């Protein structure tokens, strides 16, 4: 597995990480036993950058990782997040960036993870009611206390990222980025590069849509929130399937899977971008890890860029509730 710098921290991580959200919520019923096997398979494949958050499964995802980390702490770089408050079993959220809450959330995450220090701590979403300077200042105090090593932000604008970096170095910026979600190319990717911050791409496979697995709304099981997302509904889904089919044809010619091509495209775009595809299956971990060895030439990248121009994608990526706290 290739390695990439985690911003200007001096730390390197696997070029492809692992998003752990779906192991505990949002994509169906959790299976901790299977997820522990998958986490082990990821580490065996050279993936050592694991991403979680306190709101995934109302803390269950951090507890799951805590079980896995027992005896393996020095082998894994752990990123977690604070800022989204939800009642268990609901999607409605409140964005909380108060300094007191940040301190409490960090202590709670440390307890669930069973570790002494969080490697990378993100503000999951930013509430404009709290100045970003105040939020990052509170996060910086966690670094001073030895509870956190490096700071990150998620789904903020380039302007907010620049303001934050004046208070404390921002090691990583996390946002959705894939062939069918390319907004970060407008200015956020360049801002990260200029500030020496890594860009961590979540949902790099379009919530598995780019794999070609989903063809109709009936393909989503009970408890899968994708059935409510605009891109997976009705006419939008029908139009977007043409993009998935085009990617599948490209991948077949490349003797790769659509998922591998989608990840290889991200890796080819910028050296400071780290995709973190999520999965609950060990076989998918191996497939995703193999994408790090796939090389796309300039012509191939141009073909994919043209196929997936932003205007070709139909539908918003979240519901209005899910867009709360997403910067533009």
Note the pLDDT tens digit of each residue in 1-46.
899 999 999 999 999 999 999 898 777 788 999 999 999 999 999 9
Average pLDDT, the chain: 92
For residue 146, give every residue at least 6 positions away whose Cβ sits within 8 Å of its Cβ, in sequence order, or none.
Answer: 116, 117
Starting at the edge strand found earlier in the chain, the sheet holding 273-275 runs 18-19, 49-51, 77-82, 118-123, 148-154, 172-176, 198-202, 273-275
pLDDT of residue 328: 54
> What confidence score (pLDDT) does residue 90 get?
66
pTM: 0.92
**Where exactly are the structural domains of the chain?**
3-312
User: 3-312 domain in CATH 3.20.20.100?
Assistant: yes
Q: Give the per-residue pLDDT at 219.
A: 79
List the chain residues with pLDDT less than 50: none
Place of tokens 């193999």: 290
Retrieve residue 193's tokens: 């590069």
- For residue 233, the model assigns a pLDDT of 81
Is residue 56 part of the annotated active site? The answer reads yes
Q: How many residues does the chain have?
A: 328
CB neighbours of 235 closer than 8 A, spacing ≥ 6? Answer: 314
Check 56, 121, 122, 150 and give the catalytic one: 56
pLDDT (0 to 100) of residue 215: 83
What's the pLDDT score for residue 324? Answer: 57
Taking the chain, what is the end-to-end CA distance rounded to the nearest angstrom? 33
Residue 89 has a pLDDT of 66
Q: What pLDDT score does 325 carry?
A: 59
What is the model's pLDDT at position 91? 66
Residue 149: helix, strand or coil by DSSP?
strand
């Amino acid at each position: 597995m290739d390695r990439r710098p985690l911003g200007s921290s001096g730390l390197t991580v696997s070029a492809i990480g692992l998003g752990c959200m779906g192991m505990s919520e949002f994509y169906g019923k959790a299976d901790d036993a299977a997820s522990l096997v998958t986490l082990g398979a990821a580490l065996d494949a050279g993936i050592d950058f694991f991403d979680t958050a306190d709101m995934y499964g109302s803390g269950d995802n951090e507890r799951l990782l805590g079980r896995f980390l027992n005896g393996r702490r020095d082998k894994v770089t752990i990123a977690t997040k604070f800022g989204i408050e939800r009642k268990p079993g609901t999607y409605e959220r409140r964005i909380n960036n108060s300094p007191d809450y940040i301190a409490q959330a960090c202590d709670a995450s440390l307890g669930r993870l069973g570790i002494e220090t969080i490697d990378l701590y993100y503000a999951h979403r930013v509430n404009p009611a709290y100045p970003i300077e105040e939020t990052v200042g509170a996060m910086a105090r966690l670094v001073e206390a030895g509870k956190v090593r490096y700071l990150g932000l998620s789904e903020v604008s380039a302007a907010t990222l620049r303001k934050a970096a004046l208070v404390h170095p921002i090691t990583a910026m996390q946002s959705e980025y894939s062939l069918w979600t390319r907004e970060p190319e407008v200015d956020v990717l360049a801002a990260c590069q200029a500030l020496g911050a890594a860009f961590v791409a979540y949902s790099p496979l379009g919530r598995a849509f780019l794999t070609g697995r989903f063809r109709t709304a009936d393909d989503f099981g009970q408890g899968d929130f994708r059935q409510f997302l605009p891109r997976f509904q009705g006419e939008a889904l029908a139009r977007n399937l043409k993009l998935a089919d085009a990617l599948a044809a490209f991948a077949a010619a490349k003797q790769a899977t659509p998922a591998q091509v989608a990840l290889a495209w991200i890796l080819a775009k910028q050296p400071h971008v780290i995709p973190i595809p999520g999965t609950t299956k060990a076989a998918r971990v191996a497939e995703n890890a193999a994408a790090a060895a796939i090389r796309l030439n300039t012509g191939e990248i141009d073909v994919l860029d043209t196929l997936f121009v932003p205007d070709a994608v139909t539908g918003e990526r979240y519901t209005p509730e899910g867009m709360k706290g997403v910067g533009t």
